[in-house]
Structure 1
Amino acid sequence: MTDTSFTLRAAAASDVPEILRLIHALAVYEKLEDQAVGTDAMLREALFGKRPSCEALIAERNGRAVGFALYFTTFSTFLCKPGLYLEDLFVEPECRGLGIGKALLQRLAAIAAERDCGRFEWRVLDWNEPSIKFYESLGATLMPTWILVRMTQREFALLAR
């Protein structure tokens, strides 16, 4: 019989190197390695600095971090309520199928409910069929009419002049 047990918990400052390792693994999976330029110090400040901009959950198996979810609060002007935005969720390939991804999403849904959020949202790459099917199986709705608009530091610095 294979051990399929795992635990979820809020990330601690000591987890930053492991979260960064998992972020790098996610970047490799998404073929975006060149964009994963964050450092331990940057992530530590974002999660645990004077004004944290995000939070994280860690999934552990046999005492080792095997997955994470990084999220933050948004706001819906139409609902006049906060929302929870999942920036990234990743489970190491060898630990997929154990219920870790679903457990992370369930915990985030519970956090959204506890915080009286009007929405719980995230994005998925259009080529990532396994994830799309997984999210749909949980009752999530894809929003194909909404297009992501982005400016990087260079562009918004120019616009702010």
Structure 2
Amino acid sequence: MAGQISVRAAVASDVEVILEMIKELALYENEPDKVLATQESLQNTLGLKEGSKCYAKTLLLYEGDKPAGMALYFNSYSTWRAKPGIYLEDLFVKPQFRGKGYGTTLLATLAKEVLEIDGARLEWSVLKCMLPAGRMMQEAAEIEIDGIGNEPSIKFYEGIGATNLAKEWQQMRVDGNALKDLAKRGAFGDGK
């Protein structure tokens, strides 16, 4: 039987829990070596340190006194609707807590926040493929795997009414050296 659950905004003392879940998510996505975040960098960018800027926010879900999940998100904007929104960067529920509705609880909390700011939408991306480490974590948590894709996550999101935009939109990213190169191309100022 599940213990009492609570959802709250992260505070400075939560930074270790946040980093732990980021690392677990990276392992799930078979990218554990890609995590460069540190407790200090999270404190400085999540507004968890006195005088630091807040570029993103984190909701933490606890079952009793155990951290079970998190939603890390930031504000977005719809130009066509001239309204704010929320972009969910990471949603993670620890494998041993899955299947209890905790992911839905975190998403519902974010949906409520979008409505409170008279926002246009809540958006996020989901991996199409389940990577090997993710499969191992599912097996360890005795969660059924359906096929080679990431069907469990996709079905979960579709089940709450999410629309798959993959047919209409292609997600793009510029980072690393490509980001530095782009900043130098035709930018006003010194391009640094």
In structure 1, C-alpha distance between the alignment counterparts of 2:157 and 2:79, rounded to whole Å: 25
- The residue number in structure 2 matching 1:129 is 151
In structure 1, C-alpha distance between the alignment counterparts of 2:46 and 2:38, rounded to whole Å: 12
Pairwise CA distance, 1:109: 0.2
- The residue number in structure 1 matching 2:75 is 73
Structure 1 consecutive aligned stretches of length 4 or more whose deviation exceeds 2 Å? none
Whether 1:155 and 2:181 are equivalent positions in the alignment is no
Letter in structure 2 aligned against 1:150: R
In structure 2, C-alpha distance between the alignment counterparts of 1:15 and 1:139, rounded to whole Å: 31
The answer for unaligned runs of 5 or more in structure 1 is none
Letter in structure 1 aligned against 2:152: P
Is contact 1:4–1:98 with CA below 8 Å preserved after alignment? no
CA RMSD of aligned residues (A): 1.1
- The residue number in structure 1 matching 2:162 is 140
In structure 2, C-alpha distance between the alignment counterparts of 1:54 and 1:142, rounded to whole Å: 24
Q: Equivalent of 1:63, from 48, 65, 72?
A: 65
Normalized against structure 1, the TM-score is what? 0.95
- The residue number in structure 1 matching 2:103 is 101
Pairwise CA distance, 1:4: 4.3
Letter in structure 1 aligned against 2:178: E
In structure 2, C-alpha distance between the alignment counterparts of 1:30 and 1:134, rounded to whole Å: 17
Pairwise CA distance, 1:77: 1.1
The answer for unaligned runs of 5 or more in structure 2 is 130-149, 185-192
Question: CA offsets per residue over residues 88-109 of structure 1, 9 Å max, x none?
Answer: 0000000001111110000000
Pairwise CA distance, 1:51: 2.0
In structure 1, C-alpha distance between the alignment counterparts of 2:182 and 2:28, rounded to whole Å: 33
In structure 2, C-alpha distance between the alignment counterparts of 1:89 and 1:51, rounded to whole Å: 22
Report how many aligned residue pairs link the two structures.
Answer: 160
Matches within 5 A, 1:1-80: 2-48=1-47, 50-80=52-82
Question: Which one has a bigger Cα radius of gyration?
Answer: 2
Pairwise CA distance, 1:116: 1.0
Question: CA offsets per residue over residues 62-82 of structure 1, 9 Å max, x none?
Answer: 212111000000111111111
Q: Percent identity?
A: 43
**Other structure's SS at 1:66 match:** strand
In structure 2, C-alpha distance between the alignment counterparts of 1:108 and 1:92, rounded to whole Å: 19
Letter in structure 2 aligned against 1:139: G
